[in-house]
A = this chain, B = another copy of it.
């Protein structure tokens, strides 16, 4: 039962009293958008209730907030150096108000001195996850069929998704979920998963071909039992230099 750990005496592991981080870890696998949730065992009236929540933790003293988020991601998935982004800050008093009747029994624990939560989202290609490193208590859940989570974690997820979609229209985040070399069909599938829709292949290609930083390579797929697709890459340098031209890729 992590999350109930006592504050360690080693100063290194002391937490900032007031700040915690919750992570919405988006995963992509099999053309589906997923989110990582984890089991929580909650003692209540002599029983142990099983609840689900977003992974989160306290910020440790002398730890950068981003480092907390990275630490959580690594604990949950084993992954490092993954794109993560702060998307919102929540005051806990507010959040408790929203659902306090449901969770009166946890209130005392939450209210002690924790007053702030920073929400992060991250983008993970589930193929990169070594499943043996995935925590026993963690589970990938289909992003559009999420069970009810503790507290206001469903709201937090929805905010994260909104922000992810916004950012995707303004920054080249899509490439965080694609391998170094990718086909346009792979790219399309990722967009479709995140926006929960489908696109016409020809119209999609017409649109993304306007991105000057999307580079066609000479390489073709191999080992596939059909016509091999061409590989493309993302050229970050071109992106940085054409930034001012302001592509808003409304999908």
Contacts and interface: CB of A to CB of B under 8 A. Distances in A.
A64 B115 contact: yes
Interface string A196-212: 00000000000000000
A65 B95 CA distance: 12
Contacts of A59: 116
B66 A94 contact: yes
Interface string A41-83: 0000000000000000001011011110000000000000000
Interface in A1-35: 16-19
A88 interface: yes
A99 to B, nearest CB: 16
Nearest to A169: B166
A91 B115 CA distance: 16
Interface residues of A, number: 25
B89 A86 contact: yes
Nearest to A62: B115
A91 B116 contact: no
A195 interface: no
A93 interface: yes
A79 B235 CA distance: 47
Contact of A88 (B18, B89, B162): B89
A37 B166 CA distance: 28
A246 to B, nearest CB: 10
A27 B93 CA distance: 28
